[in-house]
A and B are shown apart, each in its own frame.
Chain A
Amino acid sequence: AQKVTQAQTEISVVEKEDVTLDCVYETRDTTYYLFWYKQPPSGELVFLIRRNSFDEQNEISGRYSWNFQKSTSSFNFTITASQVVDSAVYFCALSGVDSSYKLIFGSGTRLLVRP
């Protein structure tokens, strides 16, 4: 069965600090997809990134970067020089044949960036 674990329930940092959100997944699939979504207080989930299991290249988008390591089944997300607007709940999710391609969400990490 597929599972996503986000062990960090809440993280609090001061603005301009770097912060890493951890995501560990379990799957029997050889082909699968990993996602990160951001949910600000307004409620809407915002898509951030999708990665397939064959692409282990790290990705950088502005202050955001993602580290995908199949050897440790992890897909971690780092925010560099955090800002107050980064305060949100962040969900890691997994999809593949084993879940009938449904999105399996982790429990989410609430990030609070203090001024």
Chain B
Amino acid sequence: DTEVTQTPKHLVMGMTNKKSLKCEQHMGHRAMYWYKQKAKKPPELMFVYSYEKLSINESVPSRFSPECPNSSLLNLHLHALQPEDSALYLCASSHSGNTYNEQFFGPGTRLTVL
């Protein structure tokens, strides 16, 4: 059973919509991650939060806005997305921000932008 949960499981949105993806972990981890995965490709890192502070932003467009309200929660706010942003968005957590720690992934949100 995964201890990283993500909601919603599926999301369809128009290019003018604002929506949010949510992630929660119950393992007491202090690092959380957002990844984007296109079909038949490996996950691409977007953001890393370590001890609730943004530590890595992989030059992600500003239409993606992360937020870490506390050590268990991670949000990804979406606004004015493009069809090419359609992908599987995966959240992960690890014991700390050093990624020699294994990361545990949630089931993902499958996003479709129309």
The reply on A35 being an interface residue by CB < 8 A is yes
Q: A35-B102, A47-B103, A95-B100 are in contact. Are A105 and B42 (CB under 8 A)?
A: yes
A103 and B107 contact, CB distance less than 8 A = no
B45 and A46 contact, CB distance less than 8 A = no
The reply on B105 being an interface residue by CB < 8 A is yes
Residues of A within 8 A of B40 (CB): 108
Residues of A within 8 A of B100 (CB): 33, 50, 52, 95-96, 101
Interface set, chain B 51-86, CB cutoff 8 A to A = 56
The size of the chain B interface, using a CB distance under 8 A, is: 23
Q: Write out, one digit per residue, whether chain B residues 101-114 have a CB within 8 A of any chain A CB (1) or not (0).
A: 01111111010000
Nearest residue (CB) in A for B108 is A43
Residues of A within 8 A of B103 (CB): 47, 103
Contact of A44 among B56, B99, B107 (CB under 8 A): B107
Contact of B2 among A44, A52, A100 (CB under 8 A): A44
Residues of B within 8 A of A77 (CB): none
Separation in Å of the B31 CB from the closest CB of chain A?
10
Query: In the assembly, what is the distance between CA of A50 and CA of B105, in Å?
Result: 15
Nearest residue (CB) in A for B43 is A105
Query: In the assembly, what is the distance between CA of A101 and CA of B50, in Å?
Result: 13
Chain A residues in the interface with B (C-beta under 8 A): 33, 35, 37, 42-47, 50, 52, 91, 95-96, 100-103, 105-108
| 20 interchain pairs, CB-CB under 8 A | A35-B102, A37-B105, A43-B107, A44-B2, A44-B105, A44-B106, A45-B90, A47-B102, A47-B104, A50-B100, A52-B100, A91-B42, A95-B99, A96-B100, A101-B97, A101-B99, A101-B100, A102-B45, A105-B43, A108-B40
